[in-house]
């Protein structure tokens, strides 16, 4: 992929993450309702976004490093297998997160990091990241050129995390405020889209597509 498409894909995946209640908006709304405070809903969005960004950043860093060590085909095959494995795991496994609602900024950021990591949020970005110029191998020989190459890779990586997180935060905030101010949590009793199952299918589908697009 080239041009604006990788960035659009990162933003779209961020929006999808933001719509998933398991990624944070349900927690933010629950905290706000418990404390009867709209400000609490907004406050909760910051550590949720931070934890999500850290989880994504780990994957982005791994891609940048591994791209310099492994050939593209090997990396794509490994990423495809990881996507399918994570999707099957999410499909079969069922997790119940238990914990108190008295949380600090650090507690909520850690929860968000672990939740995003457990759901394979960063792994879902692999097909997009592998198509971006984001490898330390791009640092050419020569001291000055090497520094420039590493700097360019770092800027691309940070931009990828920023675009994805910004989209995730925007959608998470919009959904959280909409539910808190207008809809309320009663709608969960009337109907529910199983986004976790949809997410598992999306992971498997992304892995299959990435494997099929690998040059053998």
Task: Please report, for the chain, the start and end positions of each structural domain, with discontinuous segments joined by +.
Answer: 5-212
**Range from 3-12, 24-33, 39-48, 197-206 that averages highest in pLDDT:** 39-48
Percentages (nearest 5) of helix, strand, coil residues in the chain: 80, 0, 20
Span 176-181, average pLDDT: 89
**Residues 127-163 pLDDT 10s:** 888 777 665 444 444 444 444 445 567 788 889 899 9
Do the beta carbons of residue 134 and residue 159 sit within 8 Å? no
Tell me the H-state helices in 99-140. 105-118, 126-129
182 secondary structure, DSSP code: I
Of residues 140 and 43, more confidence is placed in: 43
Of residues 129 and 169, more confidence is placed in: 169
Does the pLDDT at position 177 exceed 80? Answer: yes
Number of other residues whose CB lies within 10 A of the CB of residue 66: 17
Do the beta carbons of residue 132 and residue 59 sit within 8 Å? no
Average pLDDT over the chain reads 77
């Amino acid at each position: 992929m080239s041009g604006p498409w990788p960035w659009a894909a990162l933003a779209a995946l961020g929006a999808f993450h933001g719509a998933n209640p398991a990624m944070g908006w349900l927690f933010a709304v629950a905290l706000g309702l418990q404390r009867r405070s709209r400000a609490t809903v907004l406050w909760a969005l910051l550590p949720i976004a931070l934890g999500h960004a850290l989880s994504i950043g780990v994957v982005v860093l791994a891609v940048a490093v591994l791209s310099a060590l492994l050939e593209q085909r090997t990396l794509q095959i490994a990423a495809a297998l990881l996507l399918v494995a994570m999707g099957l795991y999410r499909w079969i496994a069922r997790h119940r997160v238990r914990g108190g609602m008295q949380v600090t900024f650090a507690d909520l950021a850690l929860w968000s990091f672990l939740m995003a990591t457990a759901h394979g949020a960063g792994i879902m970005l692999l097909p997009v990241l592998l198509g971006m110029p984001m490898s330390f191998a791009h640092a050419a020989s020569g001291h000055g050129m090497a520094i420039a190459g590493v700097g360019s890779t770092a800027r691309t990586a940070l931009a990828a995390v920023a675009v994805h997180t910004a989209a995730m935060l925007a959608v998470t905030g919009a959904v959280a405020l909409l539910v808190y101010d207008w809809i309320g949590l009663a709608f969960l009793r009337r109907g529910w889209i199983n986004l976790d199952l949809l997410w598992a299918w999306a992971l498997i589908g992304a892995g299959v597509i990435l494997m099929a697009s690998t040059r053998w």
